[in-house]
Chains A and B, each alone.
Chain A
Amino acid sequence: MFGQILFAIMALVIVVTSIGVVAVRNPVRSALNLVANFFALAVLYLFLYAQFVAAVQIIVYAGAIMVLFLFTIMLLNLGSPSELSERGEIKRPVTWGLALLFVIVLAGGVFVRLGKAQPAADDLGTVQMVGKFLFTDWVYPFELTSILLLIAIVGAIVMAKRRL
């Protein structure tokens, strides 16, 4: 019962802040909504026995990536939010309606087909367990990810330099 109440609170925070990211006009407020969303999501990861992923979520997403977003917003200094304001057009209500329909259809399918959670192993989600699988079964994707990050670093440097 306690778990369900806590889940309901976190789900409410996630729903409100997800809508907030899209509905708010000021990009800084969108970013703050996203930070709150990520923190609530980290709590849900703890519920799912993913302690290490929850810690990484807070460090990488709520820390590093959101700082990068806020830095870029401040750097570009877009001034008043009305500069990039959306004109009234048919696209917006249609998109909101389609999103709602998507959620309803998916929710129906999920309720029909899915069972219950399995018992978790004692060390599920710890750093030792995730690290063991990351460096044995998943070492090839892990190395590919490191190459991807290297490419991203080189790309960012190339774009930052005015001329090579």
Chain B
Amino acid sequence: MDAVPISWYLILSAFMFAMGVTGVIIKRNPIVIFMCIELMLNAANLAFLAFARQQAQLGAQAAGQVYAILVMAVAAAEVAIGLGIIVAIYRLRDTINVDEMNLLKF
């Protein structure tokens, strides 16, 4: 699929990232905010893989893919912790609306 230029992938990645930022800013449901963070991480992954295709050496091409895998591992850890925090907050306060979260310590 060498007919598709790298810049198309990067513009698509920029669009996904912008949608993720928009969601994080305007949404009030923390679960949807986490989904938007996933969207941003995937946009970064797409950019990593697209930039990897622009490199000449095999080592640099592989580095982009290794980066993508490490990002996925970090995203998995972040989701496990984040959803755990959301469930813990729901147990304590019976709501997860981020506008009502105004304390760091209960």
Chain A interface residues toward B at CB < 8 A: 1, 3-4, 6-7, 11, 14-15, 18-19, 21-22, 27, 30-31, 34, 37-38, 41, 44-45, 47-50, 52-53, 56-57, 60-61, 64-65, 68-69, 72-73, 75-76, 78, 84, 86, 91-92, 95-96, 99-100, 102-103, 106-107, 110-111, 114-121, 124-125, 129-130, 132-134, 137-138, 141-142, 145, 148-149, 151-153, 155-156, 159-160
CB pair B35–A69 under 8 Å, yes or no, is yes
Residues of A within 8 A of B87 (CB): 72, 75-76, 159
| Secondary structure class of chain B's binding surface, majority of residues | helix
Q: A118-B55, A133-B66 are in contact. Are A48 and B9 (CB under 8 A)?
A: yes
CB pair A125–B65 under 8 Å, yes or no, is yes
CB pair B25–A18 under 8 Å, yes or no, is no
B8 at the interface (CB under 8 A from A): yes
Question: How many residues in B have their beta carbons less than 8 Å from beta carbons of A?
Answer: 72
Q: List 27 A-B contacts (CB under 8 A).
A: A3-B1, A3-B3, A15-B15, A21-B19, A22-B23, A22-B27, A30-B32, A37-B16, A38-B42, A53-B45, A53-B65, A53-B69, A57-B72, A69-B35, A76-B90, A78-B29, A95-B26, A99-B22, A110-B11, A114-B5, A118-B56, A120-B53, A120-B61, A133-B65, A137-B59, A138-B66, A159-B85
Residues of B within 8 A of A156 (CB): 80-81, 84
A118 to B46, CA, bound (A): 17
Identity of the chain B residue whose Cβ is nearest the Cβ of A34 in the assembled complex: B35
CB pair A61–B38 under 8 Å, yes or no, is yes
Chain B interface residues toward A at CB < 8 A: 1-12, 14-16, 18-23, 25-29, 31-32, 34-36, 38-39, 42, 45-46, 49-50, 52-56, 58-59, 61-63, 65-66, 68-70, 72-81, 83-88, 90, 96-97
CB pair A92–B88 under 8 Å, yes or no, is no
What's the minimum C-beta distance from B65 to chain A, rounded to whole angstroms? Answer: 5
A160 to B20, CA, bound (A): 28
Residues of B within 8 A of A19 (CB): 19
CB pair B35–A149 under 8 Å, yes or no, is no
CB pair B79–A102 under 8 Å, yes or no, is no
Most-contacted residue by chain A among B70, B83, B87 (CB, 10 A): B83
A65 to B51, CA, bound (A): 26
CB pair A152–B81 under 8 Å, yes or no, is yes
Q: A22-B27, A96-B22 are in contact. Are A133 and B62 (CB under 8 A)?
A: yes
